Structure 1
Amino acid sequence: MATIVMESIGRVFISLQQIRQVPRMLREAAPSMPSTVRDIEVPPFFRERFICTGYRPLDQSWRYYFLSLFQRHNETINIWTHLLAFFLFLVKLRDLANTVDFISDPHSWPLLILIMSSLTYSVFSVTAHLLGGRSELCHYSFYFLDYVGVAQYQYGSAVVHFYYVVDESLHSSVCGLFMPTAAALSFLSCLGCCYGKYSSHSLSSGVRKVCQVVPSALAYIWDSSPVAKRLLSGSNNDPAIAYHFGQVGFFLSCAFFFTFPLLERYLPGRCDFVGQSHQVFHVLLSCCTFCQINASYLSGFDGQERTQ
């Protein structure tokens, strides 16, 4: 009996010893994550105005940048805002698939295009903010990819607005012009953003913003003209009207925060991790997209007369 008791105590002691080793084993298994650096330690084209610390060092392994998803640095919130939005868009697609036949019903395809373009821009944004700090080539390549995502989202917005939101009078006026113009403006928007990013080290911040904002603003005005006409009509029986107002309000707000980095300008060095205007822009853009998806669904599938 004593032998059995001693053996049991010995097994418990060994188990306790193994448990004590767990923290050390986890530390040894985890990769060594280099600490972040200041703005003066990275090339000029990596620096963001008024963001002083939290930059990830260049030329690390791909594994480091992927694992930096869980590290505290000045891109962490930018990554997670659109990563969470991506999963929420997926959930929205699943919920809509319960009531909308995305496979057999051609009328549902514009809505599917909008949701897929939303998923694309969010995942391209995550990729740019997560991996764009590895090298100069990665920086430009992934951010150009991000701008391609934005441009195809603009075109997806034009598709859903033209087929679901436009009224008969506007449809007859721009029937053969709306979509080609939307495609051209999306291309110019992408081109302007890429040029502004590539020339950011040689252009003033004001000129760079003009290159990025003006083509995107023109694309938005054109793509959203059916929404504007619908809002001006002021129909109280329109179930989508509240979401259209939300869509426009959120977009104008996110455009403001994208253009003017007020928070970090007046609190330099205090928004390096959280509080950047670009982070607010991400959140507002995601809210704008959700309003747009809901408005498009109600406009296209509320039983009212559809414009084909």
Structure 2
Amino acid sequence: MSFQLSAINDEELVHDAVRYGHIISLEVYLNQNPKCINKLYTYGKSQWTPLIAACFYQHEHVVRMLLTNYKSNIEALGTITLNSIDNRLDLAEEVSALWTAGAVNNFDIVKLLIENGNANINHLIKTHSTTLRAACYHNNLKMVKYLIEHGANPYQSKKGNYTNLMLSAGRQYPAIVNYLVNELKCNINERDENGQTALYYATEIEIMFDTTRFSYYFSTIPVSFEHDISARLQRLYFRVRSTFISFQNMSRYPYTFNDVPPLFVESFILHGYRSIHQPWSYYWKSLFHKHNETINVWSHLIGILYMGYLLYYYNQRLKFYENSHSWPFVVSLCTAIIMFICSAFAHLLHSKSERIHRTCFAIDYVGVSLHGFGSGFLHIYYSAPQWYYDKIQYQYVFILLLFGILACFLNCFAQYYFHPPYPPLKRICQFLPCGILWIYSIIPLIIGLISCRFPLDLSSICHLGQVILFLIGATFFAFDIPQRFWPGGLDFIGQSHHLFHLCIYFVTVCQMHGVYWDYEKNQKILDQRSKPDLIFCAGSMISLILWDIVIVWYFQRWLREKHHVY
């Protein structure tokens, strides 16, 4: 079967095949149209050959195939658009495949093009930028050293005599500056067309307060500086500040909401998406790069570590093995850890494919269900007034278990049943059962807070903070606040999902500390109660896990059968 397509569809087919890494589709097309291997295809403002596009979208396997099977012209030139720091689109003209790979900070493709394709390492684009300059821009010292070892010219300046040293100093990259000056002997006194030196660019954006801080960069230059306490404090400040800014300047993923299927697109989030159908290593490595899920992942990775620390900390004080009254605490800590694990890895790995996306978030809902159950289990035993505990203890846990199962079921149903563009019913199916589970789980806290007298004790302050933080986070998340007011402006930090994750982390911290203080305050009352049964404590948690696994399995099977039918 051959492709019979118009010119417009022709360009769409090639672009989509390269963008999503569909190597078989691309091979079929190129086998039928071998003269198109070096053709310039237009996509928006970009004009590129398949090889340049594969470098831009960071598909190493496509680049390797084009070099090996089709002998693509590695020096063919094109035009690409890149996101600048303030999210503007910058047009880069006369770019080669190697420069493009450097511009998206993909070291593996850079090495492939140089070692397998013998690419021109000193190619100048229209502005006279080089691949080495792109590596300096991304603060990729390994790539910089590799390019130098393979013949890159470190003294090549951009138009206007804007040197690599000026760029690195201006972007606050001390390691790159140190390498350029102390090992490559770049001239720190060289001036651009406006008469400015590297020191000017460093001080222009307040990287340094004075020459003392500049000496941090150029520690081996024989210049006399006054080393007093003030200078040392300034240097310490600079190091702390540069560490913070290095997170802001982490290499980011170039994909926009137009480059991924609608299933992956979040409302009002325009940038920072990751490519789909990549090797698993691509998504694991994204843990250390900037994309619109970075904050979501790290906020809950920190939650895993802190809950693990609390498990150890409270074991030292409550003696979990010996003290059966502490077992509900163990159950709740375990459900919190599971929730953070499910959430962190769902947000880290979901972009691989549509099937993986649905599976990851179904597992995330298992974590939500478990944490809601663990929270209520904790509250009823340690924080509920005695009369309420006596009246509803076992019924409360049973109903809590049912609400946990319902939350997982309806969230999975919404995830698998509805498709973009999503109707409002999807959010109702997701938020309503979670809201019911949360409200039911905090009833013991609300009853306790109503009967409190001012000033509040530490445990009551924690419980009140826990409730307020959850309401704030849920409001941000439900109504896409604040990114609905600044579409594209809060993609990497500050969007509603980030704020919700941070609120959930602090909610859990407040919850654990507040309940521990309840335990200390009510220890005499707790000791008079019948000892919790290990089978009941662990069995209720395990039964919920099993029910949730069955739900996820059911919807996975339902999705496979649905696709098989159609």
TM class by smaller structure? 0.7 to 0.9
Mapping for residues 1-308 of structure 1, pairs under 5 Å:
23-25=144-146, 35-202=253-420, 204-235=422-453, 239-302=458-521, 303-306=523-526, 307-308=529-530
Residue 189 of structure 2 corresponds to: none
Deviation at 1:55, TM superposition (A): 0.8
Deviation at 1:73, TM superposition (A): 1.1
The answer to which structure, 1 or 2, has the higher relative contact order (CA under 8 A, 6+ apart) is 1
Q: Could you give the per-residue CA deviations for residues 247-268 of structure 1, whole angstroms, max 9, x where no partner exists?
A: 1111111111221112111100
Q: Could you give the per-residue CA deviations for residues 190-235 of structure 1, whole angstroms, max 9, x where no partner exists?
A: 1122222223425635222111111111111111111110001114
Q: Which moved more, 1:174-183 or 1:140-149?
A: 174-183
Q: Which moved more, 1:57-66 or 1:100-109?
A: 100-109
Deviation at 1:239, TM superposition (A): 4.4
Deviation at 1:139, TM superposition (A): 0.4
1:209 and 1:106 map into 2 onto residues whose CA distance is: 40
Q: Matched residue of 1:54: which SS? A: strand
Residue 19 of structure 2 corresponds to: none
Q: 1:27 to 1:256 in 2, by over 3 A?
A: farther
Q: Which residue type is aligned with residue 481 of structure 2?
A: L
Uncovered stretches (5+) of structure 1, i.e. residues with no partner: 1-19
1:27 and 1:189 map into 2 onto residues whose CA distance is: 56
Q: 1:136 to 1:305 in 2, by over 3 A?
A: same
Q: Does the 8 Å contact 1:121/1:146 carry over to 2? A: yes
1:27 and 1:214 map into 2 onto residues whose CA distance is: 58
Q: 1:75 to 1:98 in 2, by over 3 A?
A: same
Deviation at 1:39, TM superposition (A): 0.9
Uncovered stretches (5+) of structure 2, i.e. residues with no partner: 1-140, 150-250, 531-566
Q: 1:38 to 1:222 in 2, by over 3 A?
A: same
Deviation at 1:169, TM superposition (A): 1.8
1:250 and 1:51 map into 2 onto residues whose CA distance is: 24
Q: Let me know the Cα RMSD of the aligned residues.
A: 2.3
Deviation at 1:270, TM superposition (A): 0.8
> Would you tell me which structure has more strand in proportion to its own residues?
2
Deviation at 1:22, TM superposition (A): 8.8
Q: 1:222 to 1:22 in 2, by over 3 A?
A: closer
Q: Does the 8 Å contact 1:85/1:122 carry over to 2? A: yes
Q: Which residue type is aligned with residue 117 of structure 1?
A: T
Q: Matched residue of 2:518: which SS? A: helix
> Would you tell me which structure has more helix in proportion to its own residues?
1
Q: Does the 8 Å contact 2:269/2:490 carry over to 1? A: yes
Q: Could you give the per-residue CA deviations for residues 22-54 of structure 1, whole angstroms, max 9, x where no partner exists?
A: 9535999xxxx9943111221111111111111
Q: 1:270 to 1:21 in 2, by over 3 A?
A: closer
1:160 and 1:23 map into 2 onto residues whose CA distance is: 54
Q: Which residue type is aligned with residue 57 of structure 1?
A: S
Q: 1:238 to 1:34 in 2, by over 3 A?
A: closer
Q: 1:189 to 1:73 in 2, by over 3 A?
A: same
Q: Does the 8 Å contact 1:93/1:115 carry over to 2? A: yes
2:142 and 2:419 map into 1 onto residues whose CA distance is: 50
Q: Does the 8 Å contact 2:449/2:460 carry over to 1? A: yes
Q: Matched residue of 2:317: which SS? A: coil
Which structure: larger Rg?
2
